[in-house]
Amino acid sequence: MEQRKFGSSDLYASAIGFGTWEMSARQYGHIDAGEATRAVQSAIDQGITLFDTSETYGPYHSERLLGRALGARRKDVVLVTKVGFTFMDDPDHPGQAKIQDRDSSARNIIEHAEGCLRRLGTDVIDLLLIHFHDHKTPHEETIAGLQQLQAAGKIRYYGVSNYTAPMLAACQEHGQLTTNQVGYHLFDRRVETAVLPYCRAQGIGFMAYGALAFGLLSGAFSPETRFVDWDWRSRGDAFGLPLFQREPFLRELSAVERLKALAAEHGKSVAQLAIAWLLGRPGVTVALVGMRNERELKENIAAAEWRLCADDCAAIERILADEGIPSYRDVELVT
C-alpha cells in the first residue's frame, strides 16, 4: 500500500484509510461487530495504516469497537479521531448519548480528548481533528487547546474537519495544521474551488471522506432502495447536497451504471473506479473508505494501485455531464 505524506509534516499513512462512521451502529445501517473486527485486523495485514473515527460515531460506539479491534496492533497504525461536540442523555435510547451542540473551546476539546483516549485504549492519539467549528469559539483558542494537548503528549498532530479556506487561514495564523478532512467524491467536488488549492499551497494534508459517495458509488443501490428512518441518508440531504433526494438519486444511479461499464473494461468495479479517481486528484493525501467486512475491504484495497489514464478521466467527465450530474463547485461547504 502506498504511503503518503501529510503536507509539510513528517506524518505518513496509507493512501486508503479505514473509515469507521459505518461502525457507529445507530447512524449507518446494520453492522456486525465480529465482521468489522476481522476487517480491521485484515486491513492492517494488507497495508492499511490509517484508521479514522470520531466520538460522534454512535456516539462513542465506533471508538470503542475500533479500540477493541486494534488491540495490541494499535502500535502499527496511525489513529485519527475527532472532537468538538457536547453530548446529552438520549431519551429514546436509555443509557446512551446523543449530540447536543458544537463546542470547539479549549476546555471542551481537552476534556473530550481524554474520553477518546480511554475508549480507544491508547496513551496517545496520532492525529486529533476538530470535527466542525462551532462558529462561537475564536480559532486562536481552539488551536491553543490542541497545542496544549500536543505539549502534554496526548496527541502527536492536530488538524480540522469540514473547514473552508478562510477558516483554515484563520487557524494557520496560530499554528500549523496537519490536515483538513472534507467530503470529496465524484458527486461532490466543492473542495476543488478553494479548499484543496489552499491546502496544497499551505502544506496541509487533505483527507477525503465519503470516497464512495456514502454508498452511491458502491454499485449496491437501485431505484427501489429505501433507507430505514434512523439511517441519515433517509433525509435526502448529504452535507448540504440533495444526493439522496429522488430525482438526483435516480440520475446518480444512471451515471453509476455507465461508470460500472467503464470500470468493467479494466476488469474493475465501480467502487474501485471511484477510489482510483479520488487517489489521482492533486492534493489528496488519504481517501477514507468505510469497510464493514472483509469482502468490502478486499475490493477497496485492490483500487490502491490502479492509476487512471487521461482517457479514463475524460470518459468519467463525459458520463457525469451526459447524466446531468452537477459538480457543485459553486456551492458553499456546510460548516
Reference 21, options 214, 304, 180; nearest CA is: 214
- List the helix and strand counts (H, then E) for the chain: 10, 12
Q: Is residue 157 flagged as an active site residue?
A: no
Rg for the chain (alpha carbons), in Å? 19
Three-state secondary structure call for residue 222: coil
Asked if 281 and 184 touch (Cβ cutoff 8 Å), the reply is yes
Handedness of CA 124, 108, 335, 227 (dihedral sign): positive
Q: Which residue among the candidates 28, 57, 60, 158 is catalytic per the annotation?
A: 57
Identity of the amino acid at 130: I
Residue 178: CB partners within 8 Å, gap ≥ 6? 6, 7, 9, 11, 127, 157, 158, 159, 204, 205
Query: Quick one: which of 331, 323, 184 has its CA closest to 248?
Result: 323
CA distance 211 to 154: 29
Residues serving a catalytic function are 57
